[in-house]
Chain A
Amino acid sequence: MSKPLLTVSDLHVSFMSRWQHEPNVDVLRGVNLQVRRGERVALVGESGAGKSLLATSIIQLFESSAHILKGRVEFERQELTQLNSKQLRQIRGRRIGMIFQDPMTNLNPSLTIEQQLLQCILSHRNISRKEAHIVALHKLRQVHIPAPETRMQQYPHQLSAGQRQRATIAMALALEPALIIADEPTSALDVTMQAEVMRLLSHLCNNNGVALLIISHDLSLVAHASDRCLIMYAGQIVEQGPTKMLINDAQHPYTQGLIKALPNMSSPGQQLYQIPGQMPQLQELQQQCSFAKRCEHAEDICYRQAPLMAPHGTHQASCHILARPAELDPDTELAL
């Protein structure tokens, strides 16, 4: 088996508290994940689980108060945590592309699309402006932006939301990276655009052999766009495996809850299921299963010891109690 493109091992990232008497907030508490070349991986979890932080931590882009406590991030045989900023800059954008959530707040409002694309391209490649312009145009065509020549000369606020996001996808693909990390790429778009953009992204990555790590809170959205799926809860990965199997045969109670909560086409009018309770404040977590309080199957051991990731059935989950197979009606059509 070839070595994975990206390996995150036991990553712990926490926010330093400014108050003297308040403890630090551990957001990522031992995250392990792998992405293979050309693979499309989805990372799913609710807000606050630490997904975005994981995305920026991989490329070592930390806010002033966030610190990496321990763990390793290995990419293309380089240990990213050990690199200096100059070396990191060569990897960012060029080998790992990034797509953020809301293009309106991420694009520079005072530069045209072309200027931003060119800045990105020329920072990494030693080509002339003319050549870079051609590359930029090509990428914009790839993301199906109509009339790319005109659009390039416009400012972000003159484009529609969908076009802006396509432009950021073009920027991410511009240097033909090996991996693209997309942090909630469709959350700022309306529903009609979401599926289309997701399809586009998935398609482009597939065609060009680019690995894709999609982060989302919407399981149904990524179900068709990913090969493997990881479920994140409270700073840890609680279940992972091939997407289809994970959805059809969820083992971890949280995953089961997520799936149960999806709108169900075959029984309209029924009340939507909600996982009771809320994700715990990250400061409150100690040596226990982070999901224990909300879990309907929780037993004594769940409160005393944190479970480890272990294979269960077709994929892996971390749970003390091998959950009973999800009680899903085999005829159920999930609204995917």
Chain B
Amino acid sequence: MMNHVIKLLLRMLTSCLVLLTVAVVSYWVLGLISPQQTLHMDLGQYLGRLLEGDFGRSQFYHEPNLHVILQKLPATFELVLVASILVALLVLPLGFYTAIVPQHKLARGVMAFSLLGISVPVFLTGSLMVFLFAVELNWLPAFGRGQVIRLGFWDSGLLSVSGWQHIIMPAVALSLAMLPLFLRLLRAELMQVMNSNPVRFAQAMGIAPWRIWLSYGLRNAILPIITMASLQLGTTMAYTLVAESLFQWPGVGTLFMQAIVRSDGSLVAAYLILVSAMFLLFSALADLAYGLFNPYLSPWHRDQGVASKSGLKAP
């Protein structure tokens, strides 16, 4: 127990150190892009203001940066949410299907399609979709977020038909970019598990195949997926940014790119800090999830793969 607490504190300490470094870097960036901002404010003052929650004021919007970013956050969040749900819904059935009967024509087709998926960048799929569905067929809108309904502080686009019409293409494009990676990983993991000793033992005991697939296959495939998901956080952010740019989705990604074009140094600096903080938070959550599913390791031993210890990877 004490061990856990110490590890937790260490983790928080390293996160704070990382944030501190990012804050220093963002001060430097602020000086690079908008030198006049740093004329009257040195590093110490900058850090002090951050600690008070003052992230500066956007030169373009003339509003507090925190406010501006938080306003655009729901858009990005909903986009990533819908895309993630799509991936989660598809990866499990497809993963199991292609692992159980890899020789089926459809299974082979799915794998070929996933190879195509990593060869077509997200902005190209997006462009194709826009061309097909917006220009040629005129079924879906090409830009923007559609009708947005306010829930307290959150502007949601998921509560209106037009909102869904607008979110569906970007979300599908994003999910198609992330899907192949997870699909191939799940399939490889499942196939490896099914050839392992514990599964053979279970078969020798006459346990039904579906039960084996669930308690051996799924259980042991979940951990590498969580690891992969946390490793892919950064890539997901990058792809989301590109998708937002393509679909002119009013999220934090486009906000950043616009700030760059407008040389809004203050906003850029605030964006750096806030994005890093979010990133660290999600990393920690992923580690927590990993620990939950793993009876072996405490949550903070991310680099010790469970696979090497379990014997499920047959030596």
Contacts and interface: CB of A to CB of B under 8 A. Distances in A.
Interface of A: 56, 59, 61, 63, 88-94, 97-98, 100, 102, 104-111, 115, 119-120, 123-124, 155, 157, 168, 171
B215 A123 contact: no
B293 to A, nearest CB: 8
17 contacts: A59-B204, A89-B206, A92-B203, A92-B205, A98-B201, A100-B197, A102-B197, A107-B201, A109-B295, A109-B306, A119-B202, A119-B205, A119-B215, A120-B206, A123-B206, A155-B296, A168-B201
- Give me the 8 closest cross-chain CB pairs, A-B, nearest first: A93-B206, A105-B311, A92-B206, A93-B205, A98-B204, A106-B201, A109-B310, A105-B197
Contact of B312 (A90, A98, A109): A109
Nearest to A123: B207
A108 to B, nearest CB: 5
B206 A107 contact: no
Contacts of B124: none
B275 interface: no
A89 B204 CA distance: 8
Contacts of A120: 205-207
B203 A104 contact: no
B295 A155 contact: yes
Contacts of B294: 110
Given A92-B204, A92-B205, A123-B208, A109 B296 contact: yes
Nearest to A112: B295
A90 B206 contact: yes
B198 A91 contact: no
A91 B197 CA distance: 20
B219 interface: yes
- Give the interface centre of A88, A110, A111 by most chain B CB atoms within 10 Å: A110
Nearest to A63: B195
A93 B197 CA distance: 16
Nearest to A101: B197
Given A100-B201, A108-B215, 9 more contacts: A56-B200, A104-B311, A106-B197, A107-B198, A109-B312, A111-B219, A120-B205, A120-B207, A171-B205
Nearest to A174: B205
A50 to B, nearest CB: 17
B198 A94 contact: no
B198 A106 contact: yes
B314 to A, nearest CB: 7
Contact of B314 (A105, A111, A155): A105
B221 to A, nearest CB: 11
B40 interface: no
A115 B205 CA distance: 14
A56 B219 CA distance: 26
B105 interface: no
A60 to B, nearest CB: 10
A100 B306 CA distance: 22
Contacts of B58: none
B26 interface: no
Nearest to B294: A110
B309 interface: yes
Nearest to B205: A93
Interface string B53-86: 0000000000000000000000000000000000
A143 to B, nearest CB: 16
Contact of A108 (B195, B208, B216): B216
Contacts of B205: 92-93, 97-98, 119-120, 123, 171
B197 to A, nearest CB: 4
